[in-house]
Structure 1
Amino acid sequence: MSNASDIRGAMPSIDPLILFYTTFFSKPVDIASIQCEIPGRWTLDKRRISEAAAVVFHIPNFREVGDAYKYPGQYWVAWSMECGQNYKRLADLKTMRHFDIIMTHESRSDVWVPYLPRAVWWKDALARPIVPKTEEAPVALFQSAGLNYSGRVDLANELGRHIKIDSYGRYRNSRSVSGPDLGSKTKIETIARHKFCLAMENSIEADYVTEKIYDALMAGTVPIYLGAPNVDEFVPEHSFIDASAFASASDLAAYLQHLIATPQDYEA
C-alpha cells in the first residue's frame, strides 16, 4: 500500500488509527472486511479524529466533510472509485488542495485502488464450467442508471434494433430475473445463459475499468465492452469485443450474428 510507511510514521509508538470520516455512497464503510498487510486500526467514529494518523474522505460524499479539522501531522486521503467526468470535484484544485494522498482507480494515484480482481478470482473464473447458452436473446444487459457520458444508452438503443437484448437492470428494463434476486450470484447466473453481455461504462476514461466486464468473464460470457481505451491492460487478450472498433451498431450486430453462426469463431 503506497505511503503506508509514511502513515505509520505519524504515530510510531502504536499501530496507526485510520478514520473513514464519510460514508461510501451513504452507507458506512465496511471496515470489518479490510485486509491489509501493514498493522493498523480502523474506525468510523468521527469523535476520534484527533487520534487518527490518516483520515479518509470518500469524494462522492464530500458534503459530509463539514467542519472537520485537520490536526498537525495528520494525513488526509481523497478516495474515489468513480470517473472524474461524474464527479468534477476530483479536478477542483480548491477542493483537492486539502488532501495529502489521492486514492483512486487511476494508476497514477498515490494509492491505486482499481476494480481489477485479485489473482484468486481469476483462478476461480477459469475453473468454472461454461454454462450452456440457452436464452433466445443473444445479448444480456444490466444497467442501473441513465448516465451516458460514454454513449452507452445510444449504443444499446441502436444495437437493440438489430439484435435481441434482454435488459434486466433498473434502466431500460425489458425482462426480470428468474426466481429470487440474490444479488451478484443471480446476476452472474443470468449473464451466463447468454452468449454476450453488454459491459458499458458510464464514462470513458483511461484506467476506468469497472466490475461490468469482470461479471461477464466470471459468467463465461463474452463481454461487448465500451469504456476505457486501455481496457486491454486489465483483461486477457481475445476475451472481449471492443464496441468502439465498429463503425456502427449495425456493423457490431453483424459481427455478433457471424459469431453466433460460426461456433469456432465464438469459442476463439
Structure 2
Amino acid sequence: MGPFSLRRMVSPCVSIVLIFLVVFFIGASFMLGPEIELDAESFVNPARSVAVWFEKEGEFSNGLTDEDESGRRSIATTEPSFTNIVEAFHKWDGQVGCKAFRQGLPPLNRSVHLQDPNSVKCSELKQLHVSVLVKEYTWIPDALDNLYACNCGLTCLWTKSLVLADNPDANFYEMYKPPQKRRTGDPLRVYMDLEPARTRASQDLFVSYHAGDNLQATYAGTAFHMNRNHYISTQKNPDVLVYWSSSRCLKDRQDIARRFLPLVPYHSFGKCLNNVGGRDSLLEMYPRCLENGGGSSWFQSLHCAMSHYKFVLAIENTLTESYVTEKLFYALDSGAVPIYFGAPNVLDLVPPKSIILGSNYSSMEELAIYVKMLAVNPVLYAEYHAWRRCGVSGQYYHTRAVSLDTLPCRLCAAVSRLGGKNAQA
C-alpha cells in the first residue's frame, strides 16, 4: 500500500475524531458555562470578556466585527435564560470561586476621588462637643437626627430641632442658601449642594459629592434608602432582562435609553418610555413588594421590583466626574447588575467587577450582545455579584465611609477644627 492510499484512509479517521472532540467540548461548555480567566484588563474593560467568551466558544478569534453580527446575535439569544440566582451563585462557586476572584483583581490604590473620612486629627480639635442645627425645609431624613459619639472623644448633636440645639455651633443649609454675612460668635454656615453644578453660596464649609470640596457626601449610604421594601427575589424574570425607571425625561438620558432599550427585552416603570401601563403596574406585577412594611407607593418598592431583573439601566442626568447618584447604588443594593452611563471615574467609587460600564462598548448593539450573553450564562453573570459574596468591597468601602450616613461626625470634626462659633468671621 502506497503512501497516498494510507493518507486517504487516515484522513477520514482523523476528521471523525476531530469532529467528535469539537462537539464534545462545545456541548460541555454550554452545560457548565465557559470559564473566563480573570485578569486586570477584564475588570477595567468588561467588553474584553465577551471577546474572550466568543473566542473560547470557537466563534471568533479577533473580538467583535460587523461581519459576525448575525452569528453573535444568535449565540446571545438562543440559549435558555436561567432564572434562579442562587443556583447561578453555586455554579460560580464550583467553577471560579472566591480565591480565583481575589487573585484576578487589579491592585487597589486609594482613589484621589474619595476623601479620607478621618482627615481631622485629634490634636486639631478645639472643642469636644459640637451641635449642628439643620435649617429650613430639607429632604435630609429625620433618621439622621441623633447624638453621635465620634472619634477622639468628640460628641456631635445633629438635629432639626431648635429646642434641642438652641445654641448651635453650626447651621446647616441645603434647600436654602445661608446668610451672606456672619459675625464672630454666630454659628458657622454650612451649605450642601449634591447636584452636578456644585453651586456655592456664602458659607464657611461647603459639602458636595466631590472630593475637592470641604466635605464629601456620596450617595452610597442608607440615608437615601429610607422607607423601602428591601426584599430581594431569588428568581429573575426569564423573559425581560432590563429594568428602567425614570420620571424626569431629560433629553440626553432619553437619547441613551432610546438607543439601547429597543435592543433588549425591558420594562420601563417611570413616566419616560413607560411600556408597562403606568407606574402603578409595578405593584400589580410584583405584589410581594407590598409586604415587609415597605409602604404602598410604587416608589417605595423600587428595590424589590429591581431584584426581579438581571439588569438595571442606570443613566445619570449628566456625565460629570464623581457624580454617581442613588440610581446606581439602588441597583447594586437590589441584587441586579447595573448597566451604567454617567461619571467617567465611576470605577473608583464602586465594588470591583460590579457594573457594566456602557462607555466601554463601541456601540449599543455590542453592549446589547454582551448583556444577552450574560443573561444565558449563570457563571459569567454571577461574577458580577462575587464582590459581596467574597467580601471584596474595594473602593466601595471608602465610598460608603464618606457617604451622607457619616456626615454628622465628619462635619462636627470640621466645625471643631475651625473653633465653632468662636471662629473668626
Deviations 1:231-255 (A, max 9, x none): 1122222111001112222221122
3-state DSSP class of the match of 1:251? helix
3-state DSSP class of the match of 1:40? strand
C-alpha contact (below 8 Å) 1:49/1:55 kept by paired residues: no
Q: Supply the AA of the counterpart residue of 2:170.
A: A
Deviations 1:180-213 (A, max 9, x none): 4456662112111111110111112222112222
Where does residue 138 of structure 1 map in the other structure?
A: 241
3-state DSSP class of the match of 2:272? coil
Structure 2: segments with no counterpart, 5+ residues: 1-116, 226-230, 291-295, 384-425
Where does residue 79 of structure 1 map in the other structure?
A: 192
Deviations 1:39-97 (A, max 9, x none): 23344467999933211111xx236x5x676332432111122221xx6x34xxxx3xx
| RMSD of aligned residue pairs (Cα, Å) | 3.4
Q: Supply the AA of the counterpart residue of 1:167.
A: S
Which of 1 and 2 has greater Rg? Answer: 2
Q: How far, CA to CA, are the matches of 1:219 and 1:131 in structure 2? A: 11
1:106 Cα offset (Å): 0.7
TM-score normalised to structure 2 length = 0.49
Where does residue 324 of structure 2 map in the other structure?
A: 209
- Could you say which structure has the higher strand fraction? 1
C-alpha contact (below 8 Å) 1:18/1:53 kept by paired residues: yes
1:135 Cα offset (Å): 4.8
Matched, 1:177 2:282: yes
CA, structure 1 residues 240+255, in 2 after alignment: closer, same or farther (shift >3 Å)? same
Deviations 1:124-168 (A, max 9, x none): xxxx977221252110012231235xx321111111221122011
CA, structure 1 residues 28+112, in 2 after alignment: closer, same or farther (shift >3 Å)? closer
Q: Supply the AA of the counterpart residue of 1:53.
A: D
One of 2, 7, 19 as aligned partner of 2:133? 19
3-state DSSP class of the match of 2:263? coil
Q: Supply the AA of the counterpart residue of 1:70.
A: R
Alignment length (residue pairs): 241
Q: Give identity over the alignment, percent.
A: 24
Q: How far, CA to CA, are the matches of 2:182 and 2:165 in structure 1? A: 8
C-alpha contact (below 8 Å) 2:146/2:159 kept by paired residues: no
Where does residue 176 of structure 2 map in the other structure?
A: 62
C-alpha contact (below 8 Å) 1:3/1:111 kept by paired residues: no
One of 156, 168, 186 as aligned partner of 1:40? 156
Where does residue 106 of structure 1 map in the other structure?
A: 210
1:3 Cα offset (Å): 6.3
* Relative contact order higher in (CA < 8 Å, ≥ 6 apart): 2
Q: Mean Cα displacement is larger for which, 227-236 or 179-188?
A: 179-188
TM-score normalised to structure 1 length = 0.74
